[in-house]
Every structure is written in structure tokens, then in C-alpha cells.
Structure 1
């Protein structure tokens, strides 16, 4: 952490401290104070650190660890943006809060999916759960609405017999999926849902068990997949990932075709087929 960043961090903490009252953090009030806000010793006590340590932190003379920063941001009741700012100034990575409950697709992403009528798209959440999809994605990959909510998971689907036939290079797709799931495990350590998913796939599929044990990791970014689709024929699709600013644990996956190619014609045919003769379904997990 640079001297300027240290000074800025100290000034920021002092400013936030001045905005609080003893009563707002559960301390007895009533005494007249010469300056507004909490005292340094009160913040230190609530954060379970020494007053001298906290004083030196505000003065830019010490570098705090992630647990200490986490405790201080809780005491000062900082919102997520303020908390991220503190960790950025300190040169630390903020600990991600433990996910709670079942995810639901963000309404903005839901509306975006509805507008992407000519492109297959779906929203993946934590541990690669399929949170939402549009009709063309269902026609392309499979009717998610026919699956129980707890089984709408992309990694689980990749290791199904149908996906082994759909993807021309299934092994590469499956290896990449396992590596991406490993990355999810780092972000969501201790998730019971992820543990159940990994245990189920390890018991059911020796390929998954072997590749999971290899500990390869990969981020979900962009790529190309070739599909042997039973209705639209061979499709060579490029896919891209857009992370939601409102929830980094939700990612919009969009498949596109190169213009003026057989794949583009195949997608148009598939869209027409899905709209005219099949309820491809739209939905959201939860």
C-alpha cells in the first residue's frame, strides 16, 4: 500500500467514524462529546483490536490484514461499495460474503433474455446453476423447464448422455466445464449445494471424477463450440460471457453465429421451429 493510499484510507475511516453515534452501534450514549462520531477506542473495541493498532491504521503507519479490515468495515457499517473501496486502498481482495439461499435471476437479465429472441442465451449462477433461459437456448441445448429445479445445472447436464451426443468435441467441453466448476468452488467454498453436485457427479461419472481430481481451473470467458443438433444440423457457435454488475454471481451466456454462414441459417431455422412447433419454455430457477 502506497503512502498516498495509506493516507486516503486513514482519512476515509475517520470520515466514516465521524458519521456514527454510540447508540447506532449499540454503545451507551448520553455524554457530551467535543467531536462528533465514535472515538477511536470505541471502534477498536468493537473490532476486537487494540486502540494503538487502530490509531496507527488511521495515521497510515500500519497495514491491516483482511480479517482486521473486514471487522472494521462491519463496525463502521460500510456498504458494499465503501467496503470494496477500503480493500482497494489497502491493496487487499475483499472476502466475498457467503451466499445465502437459492439464487433468482435478476430482473434486468430476465428482460434482456426476453429481448434476445434471435440468439440463444441463458443465465448461469453459482456452481453453474441455470437460473434462466430464452426459448432458443432451450431449443438448442435442451428444455430446462422439463428438469426439476434442483437439477437445472449446466455441469450436471454436460455429463448427461444427451450432451455427449450434442457436442461434437464433448471431451473438451466437459474438461472445460470441470475446470470452470473448480473455479466456482474457490468462490463458493463450503457451499452444501456445490458439495452435493461434486459428490453426485464423482459417483456417477468416472471422467468427471478423474478430471476433478486433476485440479485444473478456468474462468468462463469466451470460446467456440460445434454442436451436432438433431433439428438444425451442424452448428459452429461462438459464445461469450457477460457478468452482471448487479450480481457478479450471475453471468449471461450468449451464443452467436458468424454472419452469412450455414450456422446462421441453422439458428434461424431452429428459432422458427421452436416458435412454431414446440414450447421451448422460458423460466427461472426458484
Structure 2
């Protein structure tokens, strides 16, 4: 039997048709680098322990090979959830963020759209829909044009283990992520030198709660005046369509990626409101 050109051979010249498998790396996903640095503080790594993990990586000679988004796991603290897992931001190892999740999520320093949508799946362990950080303002006009107020049916579980269907109102819109068809220039992520990963190309469906506050929050995120006029008291916005400088925070970029609805070419996200904060 002929073999493909360049195929590997064993010591007797027979072709080897094997595939590389590793629990620490899967093509198209974030690599997981493992170090072993005992933590005097127990499960939670102190600043000194994080620095020691960086030194261990440097001693191994792989520090210069790290890329933004690589995940490092200190195996000495155990393998429960995301304990001991940190993310390389290009200069330092940084902890996961626990503001909206008990299990830990990617911090806001990591721009989600610069990676494939499933890049951190099962590397950063999330029991439900993971938190992502996205600036949707470049598509604000399109989101305003496609906005709908809809009834949505959600199947929830009761404390007794049963299930029932809840009907709720939601604001839903969508926008298309695609490169310029004329010059094929990549899509830039605002405020950075990064570009949108092709895994996001297609339709992105965005949802928020169907209240006046939910609509006001979505408008702030889009930074546009193209939305329906707000009812009195639903929120303040400056004449240029951006939040007022006095007393208002920067619009949120926090969403949850809805795994059960998403598929290649169509990604679903839901806005995460400040009231969902855990800490």
C-alpha cells in the first residue's frame, strides 16, 4: 500500500498513521500549560505564587512562546473547577474574574472576538453559558434597525426537580460580522490593534430583557441615537449618543454566549446587567 508523501515511519520503515492527542491541547482551542508550584495559601494563589508560576515558565524556556489567551494551570492546587488557572495577557499571568460567576470567567482584558467562539471551551470550565467581553458599538446602527420586542419561552427547573415553561418579554436584534468585500480588510476591534477572528463571521444575535431599563442598557452599549425614544426615567444619554460624562459609567461589554442556541455562522449572546453581579 502506498503512503502519503512525507508520512511518518517507524524504525522498520513502516508508515505510522497516528494522530496526536493530548489532554492539554486541542487544535482550535486555547493551550493549557501545566506547572507545579505549591501554594502556601491553599487553593487560592497569592501574588507571590502567581509570580512563582511565571518564573517556573521562564525556567522551562517557554515564556517567549506564550501567546495572549494561553491558559496556565498550577496543578499543585488541585483539579477542581478552575482552581489554579490563569490567563496570559501578553505580559503577565492574570487571575480569572469572579464578578459574575462562582466558577471564574475570562477577565475583561481578554478581547473575546479576537479568538474563535469556542476557543476556551472546556479549558476554562464553565457550567453554563460563559461570560464574554464584546464591544458591539461598531454595529450599533444595524442593531437598532433590527430591534424587536418578542415573547420568549424558557424551560426552567423547579426546586423539586420538575420543569415548567416561563414566558418572558425580551428585546432581540442581530448584526452581521463580515470583512469588507472590496478590500478584504480584517475587522478591527475598537481601541485595540486586534482583529475579529473569522470564527465570528456571520450573524450575531443579541438579546436583553424586555424592559425599559434593558432597552436603555442596550442603547448605551451601541452608542447610537437610532433607537426608539426612551420613556422618561429610562436612563440618560448625551446628545452625541454616548453616556453622560457626569456620574455615568462606561457602557458594559459583558455578555453570556448562549451555547445551546449558537452554531457556526450564527452566534447568540445575552447582555449581562449590573444586577447580576455576584461580588
Q: Which has the higher helix share?
A: 1
Tell me the TM-score range normalised by the shorter chain: under 0.3
Q: Which has the higher strand share?
A: 2
What TM-score do the two structures reach when normalised by structure 1?
0.25
Bigger RCO (CA 8 Å, 6+ sep): 1
